[in-house]
Structure 1
Amino acid sequence: MARLEDDEKSIPTDRNTPAESFQDDPAGLATIELIDTNNKRPECFKSTIQEILFVLSATMAIAMSAFLTGAVTVTSASIGRSLDMTTAQITWITSALSLSSGAFLLPFGRVADLFGRKSLFVGSLFLFSIFCLAAGFSHNAMTMDVLNGVIGLFTASAVPPAVGILGVAYSKPSKRKNAAFACFSAGNPLGFAFGTIFGGVATQIVGWRGAFFLVALVFIIFTVVAFFCVPADFTAKEPLTFETLKKFDFLGTVLTVAGIGMFSAALTMGSTDGWTAPYVLSLLLIGLALIVAFVFWEMWFEYPLMPMGIWKDRNFSLVLAILVLGFSAFTMSSFFLSLYFQDVWHLSALMVAVYLLPMATNGVLVNIFAGWALHRISNKILMCAATLSFVLAFLLFALATDGQDVYWKFYFPGLLLVVVGADMEFNISNMYVMSSMPPEQQSTAGGIFQTVTKLCMTIGLALATAVFNSVQKRPALSGYWEKERQPYAAVYWSSFAFAMVSLLLVPLLTIGTQGGKERRKDGVVDDGDVGGQTAVDVTEVQTHPKQDVVDGTRPVTEMKV
């Protein structure tokens, strides 16, 4: 084993340079980021208990919309009957939530980076709880849909600061960071699964309103936990001055909110009102035009909401493309599978939750595995396994027919596989996106990532509703599926197609492990203490774009442990 001193010529680095700094040497080579291998608890936490409670609070932040969506999914039929809602109005409960959340994530990410994260995080949890409570008292469809749209604002304002604090607290790649981010990434898929369970139990006991009341209770508890356990802001906050406001992208905010809002609204209404309706076409075209204008503005503005340089990294773009396809398919199948259990099998909300329970239990196991595997197994292999799991799951859903033991033959293994795809894709993508931007832009990185996932939900539900309505109006007179089941099968086949496309993109990825040991082709570095850092065994040098604060274009080579 060669000592690090023997490799100084082949590994350009400054011993006095912190691990998180990135500088280019005179020869033009990228410096190497040394990874701290001691796996110590971050200094911002006074105890391991505080650290665990903080990670749990951050996980609940990303689970907010998924948790509520899960609760609504198993109670949608009950809500529709109680408030005399049409299918389109029922769809708008979740669509309004994802629409407003997706539109405001980027602006709130910038607000968190500029003015502080903890107060925005805790306040968002509290207001989310209050408006969930208010939604439980809704007496008509309009009130229900509008309140869920308002709730989406608070999910948008909670996630970026939570991601930002998590990213800065675990700024150095390590096994501890992998475990924290695996737990955090579990929030989205597991939030949906546990939301269905909580919603089903509450509905069975006190009715659908109880589901909203229970969600409010859960998050008011986590508001208190977050107040005491989330560390104070330890990155520089900007004062509220004119110079600071000049750094906030107001025009970009207007363009992204209006563009994403109109585009999402058009997708949602087009699936039920028809794509040729004048107002649907107008919203769709104007929304797309505003999104294009936003992209060009971000390329020019000095302090953008979204540094466009990050998209120059091919892996970054591919990872998010795979995530978009996978999560769109996941949203499509999950919503209509639950609706199928309620409307075709006539199961109660509680029994629907029981039938979906494999998603929650397997999700816990998958995320434990992800925390162990991200730094040991090539993430390209893991992403391939995730997309293949999606393909098999949606194929099982599509081929299922009504008959004896159909749940155990088709739906049970499908539910186990679908959560493998969702959790692994989310873990890999989240880790890669967060490592692509510096500490002072971690909330912005979280905003970008969550905007993509929210748009997935909107696009997925809109396309699924359009497919469902089309087949329901013109079912086949004969075939493999019963007439009542044909529209659901069509949705599952659409999900299968999305998953197949995502699987075809995986071979184009060039990512390895994240946060784990890597071996250089020209040598091995032994353990030792170097410049205050613990030296590392090097298993591979991986070029990965750590974005510059201004333009986000400079590649940096990382040495990971």
Structure 2
Amino acid sequence: MATVEMAAAPVAPASAVNNMVDEKGVVPCAVEIANPEGRPACFKSTIQEVLFVLTATMAIAMGAFLSGAVSVISASVGADLGMTTAEITWMSSANTLAGGAFLLLFGKLADCFGRKSMFVGSLFIFAVFSLAAGFSKTPIVLDVLNGMMGLTTAASVPPAQGLLGTIYEKPSKRKNAAFACFSAGNPLGFVIGTIFSGIASDLFNWRASFFLLAIIYLVFSILAMFTVPKDTTPKEPFTWETFKKLDPIGVVLTIAGVGMFCAALSSGDTAPQGWRTSYIIAMLIVGALLIVAFVFWENYYPHPLVPMSIWFDKNFSLLMIVLLLGMMSFNVAEFFLALYFQEVWKWSPLTTAVHLLPMAIMGIIVNIIAAVIMHRISNKTLMLTGCFGYLLAFSLIAVNTVHSSYWAFCFPSFLLAVVGADLEFNVANLYVASSMPVHQQSIAGSIVQTITKLCQSVGFGIGTAVFNAVGRSAKEGGYWDVETKPYSAVFWFATAASGLSIVFAVFLTIGTQGGKEKEVDDDGDGDGSGGSRKIDGGLE
């Protein structure tokens, strides 16, 4: 067994390589460096590198930042604009729904036509829509603008991850650190969004939260113009052949299918006749059929939007299922807990934000630890740790009552929930990036984010239905007070989903990621010929 240096395509798990769809045949190396632990040559300084990774992190944090801001001002917005519970939850649902439906399209566009311009433009447009949201006068306008902001998040994440995947092409501890910072954006964005929004709304009003969001992303859009290196991957010409490679039928199927299915889940409980409403049933059935049709279409189309063969990699599929269940639990539980603080405990937005601060601090710590240990400790162990972190976290807040102590239940729950979110997202994100070739790095990021957004929409739909159903039938008596019962029911749903994720995580066989690349001599002759293969730090 000999240690070697790789000079071309990134190392992927053997099972992923065997099933990889490579449309271009030869994958060019975007960055040629002798030492993968050294600073990539495309950066003029370490400061530029750090600012680029920070800007990329703000891209993936965009949707979570918005959700966090909305959660902490939800009660104030609802009271000011006279919004129902359904309209309040739609502020977050519209964001995740629009983002999830268009992610695959934007991922394909970024891979074909370039990533930097789409990345910088999406940050700027998000700032514009945030500014407009601050001037909203009616619930429908605010919900629509939140949806448009979700659309821009779909345009920012794929090029951001695509750039990271090509710049940090070779497995290394440096790549682990970059992706750990990037992965932190999702869970940390929610917490930082709540803190900033809480401060702004307490000093002024809820509109200031959107104005602050606009300022932040305007600054980062300007910063991105100077810190994002030139995208050196080949670009496609604007021809009919390129149009066919965009898989227009697949795009229509995924947007319509995901959009209708998630919209039905989000609106079912508040429709005129509930889930029996005719248009809700129609959207559920048609949406599900379109998603199934999309899967069949992608298996036979020569230029698939999503290479379906990657799902034959057992670890990839299991990671996506575990991530889906975990993120569905995390986002729903944290949204309703922030709402609980305001509606039941009568905390102000700023007080709510301050009590969510431990999540941000813990998130920074966990991501630093993840960057250090992902190449040393089996990632299956890390995923199981994340699953149990979720399970304990949501169990604690599920038994909370109006008279309970924040420090006894909510505080430890926050710490454990962040352990679950950050460990799972780090492992899944890095694995997917290593499973796809350089020219499909943006679509790789789109797959992860689509799964995340889809599960958020499904989770909010189920969570809202559970909340409303229990709220209507809640009576005095028992362990929980009447006000807490509907919230507790949502937290038990999150507990059940995170507990189910453990079942799937047990079957993972993933090892470490980002360690030294090794050559395994399968034929045993010692010369590395006739059956040798490359593996990455335990992934085999």
Q: Please report the TM-score for the alignment, with normalisation by the length of structure 2.
A: 0.91
The match for 1:458 is 457
Deviations along 1:451-470, one digit per CA (max 9) or x if unpaired, are 00001110111111010001
Query: Which position in structure 2 is the counterpart of 1:183?
Result: 181
RMSD: 2.4
Aligned twin of 1:260: 258
Is residue 491 from structure 1 mapped to residue 490 from structure 2 by the alignment? yes
Deviation at 1:518, TM superposition (A): 7.7
Report the CA distance shift for 1:353/1:300 in structure 2 as closer, same or farther (over 3 A).
same
| Mapped contact 2:375–2:512 kept (Cα < 8 A) | yes
3-state SS, counterpart of residue 275 of structure 1: helix
CA distance in 1, matches of 2:533, 2:128: 44
Alignment-derived partner of residue 207 in structure 1:
205
Aligned AA (1:176)? R
Aligned AA (1:309): S
Contact 2:520–2:535 (CA under 8 A) maintained in structure 1: no
Q: After superposition, where does 1:149-548 map in structure 2 within 5 Å?
A: 149-273=147-271, 274-403=274-403, 406-517=405-516
Tell me if structure 2 keeps the 8 A contact 1:116–1:233. yes
Measure the CA separation in 2 of the matches of 1:20 and 1:486. 50
Gaps of at least 5 residues in structure 1 are 5-12, 524-529, 532-542, 544-554
Match of 1:89 in 2: 87
Q: How many Å apart are 1:560 and its aligned residue?
A: 3.2
1:401 CA drift (Å): 2.2
Deviations 1:300-350 (A, max 9, x none): 111111000000001000000000101101111101100000000000000
**Is residue 344–residue 402 contact of structure 2 (8 Å, CA) maintained in 1?**
no
Alignment partner, residue 39 of structure 1: 37
Check conservation: 1:516, 1:560, Cα contact below 8 A: yes
Contact 1:324–1:452 (CA<8 Å) still a contact in 2?
A: yes
For residue 243 of structure 1, report the CA deviation from its aligned partner. 2.3
Provide the C-alpha distance between the structure 2 equivalents of 1:194 and 1:154, rounded to a whole number of angstroms: 19
Secondary structure, aligned partner of 1:435? helix
Letter in 2 for 1:311: W
Contact residue 11 and residue 536 of structure 2 kept, 8 A: no
Displacement of 1:505 after TM fit?
Answer: 1.5
Residue number in structure 2 paired with 1:120: 118
Separation of aligned partners in 2, 1:90 and 1:559: 46
Kindly indicate whether residue 39 of structure 2 is the aligned counterpart of residue 62 of structure 1.
no
Relative to structure 1, is the Cα distance of residues 500 and 248 closer, same or farther in structure 2, using a 3 angstrom cutoff?
A: same
Cα 1:36–1:381, aligned 2, differ >3 Å: closer, same or farther? farther
Q: Secondary structure at the match of 1:182?
A: helix
8 A Cα contact 2:11 2:534, kept in partner = no
Q: How high is the TM-score relative to the length of structure 1? A: 0.88
Q: Which residue of 1 aligns with 2:23?
A: none
Q: Aligned in 2, Cα 1:141/1:157: closer, same or farther, shift over 3 Å?
A: same
CA distance in 2 between partners of 1:269 and 1:62 (Å)? 26
CA distance in 2, matches of 1:437, 1:16: 16
Matching residue's letter, 2:145: L
Deviation of 1:476 after TM superposition, in Å, equals 4.1
Contact 2:90/2:266, CA 8 A, preserved across alignment:
yes
Query: Deviating runs (4+, > 6 A) in structure 1?
Result: 518-523
- Paired residues of 1:36 and 1:174 also in contact (CA < 8 A): no
Q: CA deviation at 1:272?
A: 2.2
**C-alpha distance in 2 between matches for 1:137 and 1:190:** 27
Matched, 1:137 2:135: yes
Deviation at 1:559, TM superposition (A): 3.8
C-alpha contact 1:330 1:418 (8 A) present in aligned 2: yes
Q: Which residue is 2:30 aligned to?
A: none
Residue 557 of structure 1 and its aligned partner are, at CA, apart by 4.6
CA distance in 1, matches of 2:385, 2:87: 37
Q: What amino acid is the match of 2:227?
A: C
**Residues 11-53 of structure 1 deviation map (CA, whole Å, 9 limit, x = unaligned):** xx9x99646489x9xxx9x9xxxx9765011111111111111
Say if 1:343 and 1:151 are closer, same or farther in 2 by CA, change over 3 A: same
Task: Tell me how far 1:242 sits from its aligned partner.
Answer: 2.1
Task: State the partner residue of 1:546.
Answer: none
Q: Distance in 1 between matches of 2:233 and 2:520?
A: 37
More deviation in 314-323 or 474-483? 474-483
Q: Is the 8 A contact 2:131 2:210 kept in 1?
A: yes
CA distance in 2, matches of 1:375, 1:16: 17
Paired with 1:40 and 1:92, the residues of 2 have a C-alpha distance of 45
User: How far did 1:231 drift?
Assistant: 0.7
Aligned CA distance change for structure 1 residues 16 and 490 (closer, same or farther; 3 Å): closer
SS in 1 for 2:236: coil
